[in-house]
Amino acid sequence: EAINPYLALVSVRRIALERDAVRQRAEHGVERDASDPRAFTLADEAEHHYIHALEKGLLKIMSKMGISTLDSYCGAQIFEAVGLANEVVERCFTGTPSRVGGLSFSRIARDLAARHARAFQTGRVTLPHPGFYKFKKDGEYHAFSPTVVHALHKAVRNPHALNGDSTGPSLSSEGYATYRAYADLVNNRPPVEPRDLLEFVPAGPPVPIDEVEPIESIVKRFSTAAMSHGSTSSEAHETLSIAMNRLGAMANSGEGGEAPERYHDERNSRIKQVASGRFGVTPAYLASASELQIKMAQGAKPGEGGQLPGHKVNEEIARIRHTVPGVALISPPPHHDIYSIEDLAQLIYDLKQVNPNARVSVKLVATAGVGTIAAGVAKGYADIILISGHAGGTGASPLSSIKNAGVPWELGLAETQQTLILNGLRERVRLRADGGLKTGRDVVMAALLGADEFSFGTAALVAEGCIMARACHNNTCPVGIATQRSDLRAKFPGKPEMVMAFFRYLAQEVREILASLGLRSIEEAVGRTDLLRQRHTGLETADLLDMTPVLGAATLVGQGPIRHGGKPNALPAEESLNDRIMADAAKALAADGPVRLHYQINNCDRSVGARLSGTIGQLYGDKGLPPDTITITFHGHAGQSFGAFNAPGVTLHLIGDANDYVGKGMAGGLITIAPSPQAQYVWHENVIAGNTILYGATGGELYAAGRVGERFAVRNSGATAVVEGVGDHGCEYMTGGVVVVLGPTGRNFGAGMTGGVAYVLDEAGTFAQRYNPQLVELRPLSERDEKRLRDLIRRHVALTKSPRGSEILARWDYYRTVFLTVRPRDAVAQIEAAAEGTEEPTAARAA
């Protein structure tokens, strides 16, 4: 709870005094007198600045990890040790997971002495550049060094890269030879990942290559990793989608949504991601997918939400994400509708309702204990579990988010495979690996450790022209990939054929390795850890690592299935209320006129309306149907996710009450909730719906004649809502829409709110202590605000018969004086930029 960096403090004071002495000699010819108090003042100031920097850095890490208080951070042990011997961990990091051993105290001391000798060697006048971020000759080894990047570019740009048309099965020998030169550079590199410490053990005699699974079958197991349109340019993003669709593989949209005009051609990303920010998640977006991926975390920076600097949020990106141009977009660390494994299962259920034809995957990171989480995900009926490793990176995040974060996918994949086998769950789900995959050797290694499928991020970007300039977060990518600047995007060199060539070459290398191992398909390789063993590298530090935990699954063969059983992890068969609604609404879905439906509902009826809205999204896009085409009245107690992803044209009236997540992802239409007219309680003093209502909504209207729970309208991007009281964290991260609160609010209202407007009734005069003032400000009602507010309350009363609303309208001259308007500050972009330690974006950068 208290740390004294005494050596650093002494060093800071000494540096301050030495610099002051140099300055005094230069300006006055003499140094200060040793007793001059001004010298000590300078040292005190330097010490203060250093402590302030440490505190700010600590708070930054805590906020990135979703930890709100120092007490929660102290002793949390959210870290994992990789490469330290047990003696070091037990002494210095007691209780911290460490799976593969590593450096002892004596070896650490030797390294420290060597570093000290280099730092203080005599005669040196320049400070060597270690090349931690950008490649430097004689610096730290980079897996994607300029030599490797150039070799891959040469391979995919070879005139013989593809022989025949773009889908032709044959590969030219000349084109493949250039790829082999690239693969040899990667496969023979110094050990930088756990798989570099492993080697293959043949299962038997080699088999003829003609008997091995063909390229066209292997590439169907490939996908591009999640990279958003926003972190990358539209040209780069669409090129990947076109290439993967032509191959019969899949591209991943990332968490930034996707332009609707892409949904029905070969630019469509068949994997659509649902992340904590819910950017661009609409019924049509979900309906356009073959796979829906829930991003729980990111391998390159676990614990953090996605980040897009304000200078990359131009008009196009803001339109797709339903946000404000120029303002940084940071996804919350948690999903606000997932606080338990049961909540995750509910979101899986929601997605399977809105798009029954899509597989649902869950993206986890390779961390200690991921196997237990994966077991819960499998029991929650996910179809695919992605284990994401630390390698690779992001096209948007600050550099501070990349280093010393995450662990290799080999550790997480091995643990997940072993845990699923031990619990009899392996055949229910497919496993996917990503994080630095580059060659066919990597693919076969991942398969032997348990992966059925494989995702590629950085390698796919390099194949379409990335030169690893490490300028992704600056919006200055010189080849037009990780930028939104039109002048730089014009320089984009990529073509779908280049990406296709890379994946076809890679699949051919996989075939050759399988043949050498005596295997005829990837399916035969999945989970066969007995075909791997640790190799002797001759490097002292590398050979200190013990890969036995990674290979431990070999002892589990025979105790249960070691690979996916081939069937979807389907929800239990049952007749649901959604089935009845779909049958009864068939006339309206066929554009054959409006329908009016009535049902009883109970709390076992979950995600009611989601399948209807998903079908509308598939048939009619986000425009949906005309207002009130399908009107459904329910009586009773709605289960979770009532009206989730509600589409335009759908009106849901609920007489009763509802659980959590009402209207999550709502894109249009109308939802009303009111108590029974026979209710004997005071409506506005009681809760009528649960937590996290309108999470990620992009449109539509909601009126609730009663109070609602916490996190109301979090990440609202366009919906209009009137409620009669909210819990903590109302309108958090809101970027659009209108919210009216006719009653009390909880704490932290408007935190991270960068768009839209809220009107709050503050009869008690306490709201100024309950809102978060960082990005929003309070104002009295303007004439325009007053008219809009009064019209919304009138509509609320007309739809719900709210006594509270009627009272406010009857005494309008009084109540209009106790309403406050909550709006984002004019300087939101500057505030956000300062918080991130970056410059405010200029018009040129946002172009």
Span 407-428, pLDDT tens digits: 999 999 999 999 999 999 999 9
Rounded Cα distance between 283 and 31, Å, is 72
Where is pLDDT greater, at 313 or 396? 313
Q: What is the pLDDT of residue 608?
A: 98
Q: What is the pLDDT of residue 832?
A: 58
Q: What is the pLDDT of residue 169?
A: 42
Is the pLDDT assigned to residue 845 strictly greater than 60?
no
CA angle 314, 315, 321 (to 5 degrees): 90
In order of 209, 425, 429, 462, the CA distances from 176 in angstroms are: 15, 39, 34, 17
Each as own residue / partner, the long-range contacts of residues 825-829 (CB below 8 Å, 24 or more positions apart, any chain) are 825/775, 825/776, 825/777, 828/324, 828/327, 828/754, 828/775, 829/310, 829/326, 829/327, 829/328
Q: What is the pLDDT of residue 443?
A: 98
Share of the chain above pLDDT 70, in %: 94
CA angle 716, 720, 722 (to 5 degrees): 110
Rounded Cα distance between 682 and 89, Å, is 59
* Contact indicator for 698, 374 with CB cutoff of 8 Å: no
In order of 264, 311, 660, 704, the CA distances from 352 in angstroms are: 21, 36, 18, 27
- Whole-prediction pTM: 0.92
* Contact indicator for 200, 532 with CB cutoff of 8 Å: yes
Domain(s) labelled CATH 3.20.20.70 in the chain stretch across 146-466+500-535+550-556
Q: What is the pLDDT of residue 185?
A: 97
Q: What is the pLDDT of residue 591?
A: 85
Rounded Cα distance between 832 and 126, Å, is 37
- Closest by CA position to 253, among listed 455, 75, 103: 455
In angstroms, the first-to-last Cα distance of the chain is: 47
Q: Is 189 helix (H, G, I), strand (E, B) or coil?
A: coil
Mean pLDDT of 29-58: 84
* Contact indicator for 793, 672 with CB cutoff of 8 Å: no
Q: What is the pLDDT of residue 165?
A: 44
Span 259-293, pLDDT tens digits: 999 999 999 999 999 999 999 999 999 999 999 99
pLDDT band, very low/low/confident/very high, at 779 (cuts 50, 70, 90): very high
Tell me what the pLDDT averaged over the chain comes to: 91
CA angle 85, 88, 90 (to 5 degrees): 105
Span 461-509, pLDDT tens digits: 999 999 998 888 889 999 999 999 999 999 999 999 999 999 999 999 9
pLDDT band, very low/low/confident/very high, at 556 (cuts 50, 70, 90): low
Is the pLDDT assigned to residue 302 strictly greater than 80?
no
Is the pLDDT assigned to residue 434 strictly greater than 70?
yes
Count of CB atoms situated within 10 Å of the CB of 225: 28
- Closest by CA position to 499, among listed 148, 155, 150, 147: 155
Domain(s) labelled CATH 2.160.20.60 in the chain stretch across 705-831
Mean pLDDT of 304-322: 88
Span 160-212, pLDDT tens digits: 775 544 444 457 788 899 999 999 999 999 999 999 999 999 999 999 999 99
CATH class of 146-466+500-535+550-556: alpha beta
- Closest by CA position to 425, among listed 404, 449, 450: 450
* Contact indicator for 688, 673 with CB cutoff of 8 Å: yes
In order of 388, 445, 452, the CA distances from 527 in angstroms are: 17, 10, 9
Residue carrying structure tokens 């204990």: 369
The CATH code of domain 705-831 reads: 2.160.20.60
Mean pLDDT of 313-332: 90
Lowest mean pLDDT among 395-399, 542-546, 824-828: 395-399
- Tell me the HSE value of 257 on the side-chain side, using a 13 A CA sphere: 26
Rounded Cα distance between 607 and 354, Å, is 8
Mean pLDDT of 112-129: 80
Span 628-648, pLDDT tens digits: 999 999 999 999 999 999 999
pLDDT band, very low/low/confident/very high, at 567 (cuts 50, 70, 90): confident
* Contact indicator for 182, 153 with CB cutoff of 8 Å: no
Please say whether the dihedral angle defined by the alpha carbons of residues 202, 204, 210 and 215, taken in this order, is positive or negative: negative
Span 338-370, pLDDT tens digits: 999 999 999 999 999 999 999 999 999 998 899
614: tokens are 């998903």
Mean pLDDT of 716-736: 97
pLDDT band, very low/low/confident/very high, at 135 (cuts 50, 70, 90): confident
- Closest by CA position to 792, among listed 761, 822, 759, 751: 759
Q: Which of 29-43, 103-117, 198-212 has the highest mean pLDDT?
A: 198-212
Mean pLDDT of 821-838: 69
Q: What is the pLDDT of residue 836?
A: 52
Residue carrying structure tokens 């986000």: 622
